[in-house]
Amino acid sequence: MDKFIIEGGTPLVGTIAISGSKNAALPIIAAALLGDSETTIHNIPRLQDIYTFNNVLRVVGAKVDFKEEENTVSIDPTSVSYLEAPYDLVRKMRASFYMLGALVGKHGEAKVSLPGGCAWGPRPVDLHLKGMEAMGINIQLEKGYVIAKADETLKGGNFTLEPSSVGATVNLLLASVLKAEKFVIKNAAKEPDVVQLCNVLVKMGADIEGIGTSKLTIRKVEALNGVKISNDPDRIELGTYMVAGAMIPGSDLTLTGCNPEHLGNFPELLRKTGTKVDVNGTVIKVKAPEKLKPVSIKTDIYPGFPTDLQAQWATMLTQAEGDSKVTDTVYFDRFSYVPELVRLGAHMHNEKNTVHIKGKAPLTGASVMSTDLRASVSLVLAAMAAENTSEVLRVYHLDRGYESLENKLNPVGAKISRVVG
């Protein structure tokens, strides 16, 4: 397995271009299966999760052409005939479960493995299945697979997501746009990823009312057409690099290709730490403060603080002058990075869904192990801020969600070497 060798203590100075969003790309790749012609999506990041999902589409018969040098994928769904997403592929990433909504929505039936994915925390798919049943889809569980069948037209109905869920909102949208006479999703997710999916579906010909709100009303259309669209920038990658620019003394980063509106109040929270944050159109500049102030946060569904940035924020707070805490109200068991940061010298411990942090802790190089995607990048951040050399093991987690991380950070001053294992 690959690992990183990181020499810490060097400031980050220069420009980093933000990649396309993985979390937005996967739903719209799935949506391409609903069309009657080819869909082309630009600004697709070169990530392991993208490669995996492309292979899932190929298994069902779609023609997928990923021009990696152009970050563009073209999907021709007209030859889809095998309506099953097998365990060997779905277990690698939970987003493959979007195949359920896409296949049953387009073809009236699907057999999809229950998902695998990150090691932390429960992410039950009950909401997805109950929502589809409320729509009129017949759902059966058999030997680890979900078998879904739907008539040509479903009456539809109403379903309230408790709690709000991006994944369930996506799957219900995919399942309903070609099937349900009228289907209302209440407490729908409002994340930019969901908004982009809705806008893409509408461009394909779907009838969706309430985009960007917590109530989505979907009415059946007879067909959807393929489209040419550009994927949104990755707000989580952006937030991660903003944290890097804030926590490593002497750093002065310029981040390009951003959509600041997708960050919610994140820039303002970062300013409260003393970090200088300038937003100018699609460019964000971040300059580290002389003294980092502790700012406690609680994660929440969008537009609240993203759970996908809590590990990075907690890592930053280990370098703040004072005590703080980070509470995750979205996923209660997302703190596997804590004992690894302690190995680097952090003063922190977690109780239930809160991590308590005592700053400022001098970090010193050590060998640490990644356990999931966002935990992995938090270890990289800590290693870049630490004295001496660190070793971050199992960085394949990083490759699922950060495009060319070392190739983006090294030109601005980081000293990261990948050792292929």
Catalytic residue list = 118
The 3-class SS string of the chain reads: CCEEEEECCCCCEEEEECCECHHHHHHHHHHHHHCCCCEEEECCCCCHHHHHHHHHHHHCCCEEEEEHHHCEEEEECCCCCCCEECHHHHCCCHHHHHHHHHHHHHHCEEEEECCCCCCCCCCCCHHHHHHHHHHCCEEEEECCEEEEECCCCEEEEEEECCCCCHHHHHHHHHHHCCCEEEEEEECCCCCHHHHHHHHHHHHHCCEEECCCCCEEEEECCCCCCCCEEECCECHHHHHHHHHHHHHCCCCEEEEECCCHHHHCCHHHHHHHCCCEEEEECCEEEEECCCCCCCCCEEECCCCCECHHHHHHHHHHHCCCCCEEEEECCCCCCCCCHHHHHHHCCCEEEEECCEEEEECCCCCECCEEECCCHHHHHHHHHHHHHCECEEEEECCHHHHCCCCCHHHHHHHHCCEEEEECC
C-alpha separations of 206 from 34, 311, 319 in Å: 10, 37, 48
